[in-house]
Structure 1
Amino acid sequence: MQWREVVTFVALSYAIAWAFWTPIWPDALQSLTRWRTPTSYGGGAYTALGMFAPAAAALVMRLFISKEGLRGSLGVVRRWHYYLIAVFGPVALVMSTIGISVATGIGEFDPGTNRPFWYVFLLLLVIGTPISSALALGEEYGWRGYLLPKLLPLGEVTASVIVALIWAPWHLLLLLVGLNYPGKDPLGVLVLMTTLGIGLSLLLTRLYVAAGCSVLVVAFLHGSLNSFSDRLSDAKHLSGDPFVVTVGGLVGIGLIAIVVLITYWRRSPVVSATEQPATSSAQGDRGHDELPAGP
């Protein structure tokens, strides 16, 4: 295990992002003092650029510290069905979360527009998801593209949990200014976000490995989830306790847990974890037949 590289990368990812988010530090500290997050997100649109901190950290590591270089680091594959899974899997999760919350009476959904729902859906799919995926690539190039391969020799599950325990608290400043869980106590926010992070990390790892170590595929999954959940299941459109009704609440986490159990129960053998990062680029160049089997 290359623990020195892991620790250095994590330190850089936190330092770059939290330095960029310096303007929200006072509001974050105020939330801790009041022991309550704001009722609406107060970070501003510029905070989304902080998502590129893990990518910046990975570039520094690849070029100057661990020196793997950049060749093949995106692990691009050409199997289109992985991208369909990446885009429409989160759509199914968000819509199921909304449906369960409304059907059980624990939440109410308001699309927030007079336009037909198909119009909103199409905008999120065609415009929102590509934009969100480009932003998510800033995270995934670091978390899954650099950190995960360093940890995969420990096994997919262990590696996924470690990544999640790093990834979820990385969002802490944003969470404290109202991201995902407005009007809630900070400890509960961190616990729910970490639980969500573990579930998502397991799914992202499985898709990353199955898709031949493709960072682009997991970036599309991350981006699609952000696009649809941020617009359809946020507090403005899905009312109710955010600890319960949202994708990051008990309903969404429960659905993710079911998918994780099914996915890992029926997963196919893949090449060894220590071989994947080195072969991902070559696999993409050789075509489709030599990629690992999908989930």
Structure 2
Amino acid sequence: MSDERADLIVSTTPEPAVSTAGAVPEAVSFEASVPWAAVAVFAIVSCGLAWLIASPLWVRGLGMADPLLPVIAAAMMLTPAIATIAALLVERRRRGRRGARGILRDLGMWPLRPVGRTVGMSAAAIVVLPLLIAAGLVVVGLLGLARFDLVGFSGFAEQLETLLPPGTPAPPIVLLVTMQLVMIPVGAIINAPFAFGEEIGWRGWLLPALRPLGTWPALLVSGAFWGFWHSPLILLGYNFGLTDITGVLLMILACMVLGVLLGWTRLRTGSVWPAVFGHGAFNAAAGLGALVVAADSTVPPAWVAGPLGLVTCAIFAVTIAVLVAAGQFRRDRLDARLG
């Protein structure tokens, strides 16, 4: 989950070159059919809790200006974890006891084997997700949708002035921008607990649960549901500034393509942690555009040029195509680690 407005200043408060040698991780307990009853419970609990937690924003009627928004958005990120617990209880009736070790293995939490692949993919996710957002900004500039100031950072300086008390001297703007960029990896780690609240549901449980449908259907359906789950906030104008079904559809599209990338890390490693840190890094870097846009530049709509806008979605799609062309989605590369 990301909000370009909320991440105006990058917050730290919401295949890598790694050897594949070593032990192959234990096989995940993979079912021959989708556990539809558990999936239904997961869907109802996750969406129901999301709407319940977001309801004060609707009752108070302040929309995106509500000071409770950051707290509520963070709390929403924990609801997929609660839904996962509910789904596991339903699965327990069907599959019997698996023990804590089996559950942690099936959710991709433990063990971290091979360690090099899991740690390397997690580190790569922290670096690559912000770079994809930056690549989207490059395309925005090439298309003439916005003008960037990479010397004086005038747009960021102008925004900073509105946050400081009158007469307060601002620190050197280049130093502030550098600090913001350096803090993105730190922000990814600090954001990880909330990202875990989502990822343990989307990539930890739901993606493997849908795997009997096939790799691509499981990736796309789990991503689409992830996007739909954001509806309580999207319909208030979160992320895109749109308050109708168009915003929800755009969020579904964005989460489908981003979900393929995060899901690939889960399938490739058998671990949920690369997706957790990748999600955290994406949220930490969502405000990159606010750092570089010029003060006198036109500001394109968020649904076009935002961190989840159409331009960035195209960058994600190209990245997926490169991975496919490199054979990274072949069944023999995935099935050995998940199913």
How far 1:39 moved relative to its partner?
Answer: 7.0
What's the counterpart of residue 140 of structure 2? 101
What's the counterpart of residue 302 of structure 2? 242
Check conservation: 1:132, 1:227, Cα contact below 8 A. yes
Report the CA distance shift for 1:146/1:121 in structure 2 as closer, same or farther (over 3 A).
same
Report the CA distance shift for 1:21/1:130 in structure 2 as closer, same or farther (over 3 A).
same
2:246 is the alignment partner of 1:188: yes
What's the counterpart of residue 124 of structure 2? 85
2:44 is the alignment partner of 1:11: yes
- Which digits, 9 at most, give the CA deviation of each residue in 1:162-196, with x for residues without a partner? 112211111011112232112x3522211211111
What's the counterpart of residue 232 of structure 1? 288
2:224 is the alignment partner of 1:199: no
Task: Give 4+ residue runs of structure 1 displaced > 3 Å after superposition.
Answer: 38-43, 68-71, 108-113, 233-238, 268-278
2:300 is the alignment partner of 1:262: no
Within-5 A mapping of 1:145-294: 145-182=204-241, 184-211=242-269, 213-229=270-286, 231-233=287-289, 239-268=299-328, 269-270=330-331, 276-277=337-338
- Which digits, 9 at most, give the CA deviation of each residue in 1:43-99, with x for residues without a partner? 52211111010011112332x321354332314532232012211111111111122
Q: Report the RMSD for the aligned CA atoms in angstroms.
A: 2.7
- Which digits, 9 at most, give the CA deviation of each residue in 1:101-133, with x for residues without a partner? 23332124534552433211012222x111222
The aligned length equals 265
Check conservation: 1:75, 1:216, Cα contact below 8 A. no
For 1:123, the aligned partner's letter is M
- Which digits, 9 at most, give the CA deviation of each residue in 1:255-280, with x for residues without a partner? 111111111232344459787557xx
Cα distance between partner residues in 2 of 1:246 and 1:191 = 15
Q: Secondary structure at the match of 2:304?
A: coil
Report the CA distance shift for 1:91/1:178 in structure 2 as closer, same or farther (over 3 A).
same
Cα distance between partner residues in 2 of 1:237 and 1:13 = 36
For 2:142, the aligned partner's letter is A
Q: For structure 1, which runs of at least 5 residues remain unmatched after alignment? A: 32-37, 279-295
TM-score (norm 1): 0.80
What's the counterpart of residue 56 of structure 1? 82
Check conservation: 1:209, 1:270, Cα contact below 8 A. no
Cα distance between partner residues in 2 of 1:187 and 1:236 = 31
Cα distance between partner residues in 2 of 1:178 and 1:215 = 30
Cα distance between partner residues in 2 of 1:40 and 1:20 = 17
Check conservation: 1:245, 1:251, Cα contact below 8 A. yes
For 2:198, the aligned partner's letter is E
- Which digits, 9 at most, give the CA deviation of each residue in 1:133-167, with x for residues without a partner? 22110000011111111111222110011112211
State which drifts further: 110-119 or 85-94: 110-119
Check conservation: 2:130, 2:282, Cα contact below 8 A. yes
Cα distance between partner residues in 2 of 1:42 and 1:175 = 17
Q: For structure 2, which runs of at least 5 residues remain unmatched after alignment? A: 1-32, 93-97, 149-154, 161-172
What's the counterpart of residue 28 of structure 2? none
Report the CA distance shift for 1:217/1:82 in structure 2 as closer, same or farther (over 3 A).
same
Report the CA distance shift for 1:140/1:188 in structure 2 as closer, same or farther (over 3 A).
same
